[in-house]
Amino acid sequence: MTDLFSIRGKNAVVVGASSGLGADAARAYAQAGANVALLARRTDRLEALRPELEAHGVTVVAAGCDVTDEASCQAAVEKVLAELGTIDILLNNAGVAVFGGVDTLSDEDWDTSLGTNVKGIAHVSKYVIPHMKEAGYGHVVNIASVNAVIADKTDAFIRHSYNASKAAVTGLTRGMAASYARYGITVNALGPGLFSSEMTQHTLFASQEFLAAYNTLNPAGRPGASGELNGPVLFLSSDACSYVQGQFIAVDGGMTIV
């Protein structure tokens, strides 16, 4: 049973690893014995994280990567393959939340949301999937959001482009899963609820009104804590999920069931 959930010795790529949920996932992979490739724009953050992960006796690769730039993604994946040889796990975590509704969002706002949250996954996956197909093995985990299926009516927190882009992630996940399952690749999505991160700390967490409403509505009565996404991440990255395809799993304290 232990081996079923083991990722020891596997090579995991974490996109958007410089902070928040991405850095947490990188730590979880390293603690579980997987070698970790850290991809993000801010390479100084990746280098700062490297010693902590290497303390677990694993190999760590850091590569600069702007997910909105396909050439940058190609170069990052090529660096990972050159240093690790294989990619067994891909966690697509890079994301951005742009506030505003369709009556206020600019074309640039839409391009930012879709370019990062959807095309970013496509750009990295474009260069990882062929390798996984050739190997006949791989686990892809796309980070969506509960905001793929629920939204906020409060004017200050309306994020229509975020809703649309995260819903698109779930659709892309199903499409990828259906296409690549026959190659031994699983593709699934996680939908985090409210977690503290660089993206939420100065917006959602800064509003006592929002937090009070969230905690009242959420069955768990609180936001997610650091590390609470790691269990689902590790499950979907292991062979325990070998027959799980194209699923959206909300990790939200029950927010999407009420």
Radius of gyration of the CA atoms of the chain, in A: 18
Any residues with CB less than 8 A from the CB of 161 and at least 6 apart, and which?
A: 98, 100, 105, 109, 110, 112, 113, 114
Among the listed residues 29, 127, 137, 162, the single catalytic one is 162
Count up the domains in the chain and report the number. 1
Q: How far apart are CA 163 and CA 146, in angstroms?
A: 9
Angle between helix axes 107-117 and 119-135 (nearest 10 degrees) is 20
Q: Does residue 238 fall inside a structural domain?
A: yes
- Tens-digit pLDDT profile for residues 210-239: 888 889 999 999 999 999 999 999 999 999
Q: How far apart are CA 159 and CA 162, in angstroms?
A: 5
* pTM given for the model: 0.95
Looking at residue 178, which CATH number applies to its domain?
Answer: 3.40.50.720
Q: 3-state DSSP: the chain helix, strand, coil percent, rounded to 5?
A: 50, 15, 35
- Tens-digit pLDDT profile for residues 25-62: 999 999 999 999 999 999 999 999 999 999 999 999 99
Active site residue 183: no
Residue with tokens 């579980």: 32
Q: Does residue 23 fall inside a structural domain?
A: yes
- Tens-digit pLDDT profile for residues 145-175: 999 999 988 888 899 999 999 999 999 999 9
Q: Residue 97 is part of which domain span?
A: 3-197+225-251
